[in-house]
Amino acid sequence: MDLQELADDVSEYVGFPVTAADVRRLCAALAADPDFWSFAPRARMPLRAAGSVVARLEAAGLVSLEGTQARLTAAGRTAFEDLGIGPLPAPECEACRGTGVLPDRFLPDRAVRFYTIAASRPAPAAEYDQVHLLPEDVWRRVAFMAGRGDLSGLDLLVLGDDDLLSVAAALTGLPRRVVVLELDRRLVDFINTVAREEGLPLTAEQADLRDPLPLEIAGRFDTFHTDPPEALSGLLLFIGRGIAGLKGPGSAGYFGITHLEGSVSKWYRLERALLEEYRVAVTDILPAFSRYQTWDYLLADLHRPPFDRLARPRGSWYNSDFVRIEQISDRFGPEVDATDIYFDTEGLVDT
């Protein structure tokens, strides 16, 4: 098995760069746990590319597929041994999943109240690319933001909020005010109803982030949070709108981003734009910090091998890194082409 040859073949097939190091890491993750929905996220590469590697390993007689399992054959074990590929270690803390944050230690009574509210939120809508964070991981994000000093006595802007992070943050009693800009009318009404019933300093407004921020929003907030679409244009649009909402140097922003829909090449382009064009510093990148609920439509557009035969996952497998940025100047980035902010070649869609 030639790792570089395999990487080049997959790169040409999926339409974005895949390296020999990506393939080696995927193989090591597979050697540690044959369940595809466990080892693919650990490989930290786009899911379509991970699937394409597995399909080629199967075609070469190195793995056999059954259910959710991709098990090494005798030939596969020999090939891995020849390349020095062993099981990928998992040294992370089991208590916090390697995140460094135990959410239930942060205002536990308020956490329980949030979990109750989140249980009745509107179902995710595919048209808005919505996939819900697990409620405990929403609380984990809020706990981290609070620990960085980015909530207490400050104004928080939330751009898109099917996860209800605005509600979680407001329930802590820390922010001075929380404002949500959300396209989905169902969520706007739900959040405003919760705010009234709970007596929270929280308001939600219907807005399309493809339009510039309203004057009463731009430059008025200390902190923003967003979980943007994974296309590069979507990432830059949502994060850019968040930065436009900040007061100035020292203000902070938070967003989620995945490896399951983003190659290192996409990460590089995003980080370069943030550093050079938007003038922010990346202060924290927390790997696999947040997990998402599994919804059928999330994988509905993946039909090519091995997804045509792999059984669908039963638990939470889709995760994202959590990133903190800090503004260092009043400069704003350029406008983004928002023609298609939801999908690109690295997403969960066969193209």
| DSSP for residue 133 | B
Tens-place pLDDT, residues 29-41? 999 999 999 999 9
Domain ranges of the chain: 3-82, 103-327
Is residue 294 over pLDDT 90? no
Tens-place pLDDT, residues 132-169? 999 999 999 999 999 999 999 999 999 999 999 999 99
Q: What is the mean pLDDT of residues 17-34?
A: 98
pLDDT value at residue 339 = 65
Is residue 216 over pLDDT 70? yes
Q: How far is CA 90 from the centre of its chain?
A: 21
Tens-place pLDDT, residues 52-76? 999 999 999 999 999 999 999 999 9
Name the pTM for this structure. Answer: 0.94
Nearest to residue 165, comparing CAs of 201, 103, 118? 118
How far is 181 from 191, CA to CA, in rounded Å?
11
Q: How many CB atoms lie within 10 A of CB 293?
A: 15
| DSSP for residue 274 | H
CATH of domain 3-82: 1.10.10.10
The domain defined by 103-327 carries CATH number 3.40.50.150: yes
103-327 matches 3-82 in CATH topology: no
Rounded mean pLDDT of the chain?
A: 93
pLDDT value at residue 342 = 60
How far is 338 from 10, CA to CA, in rounded Å?
29
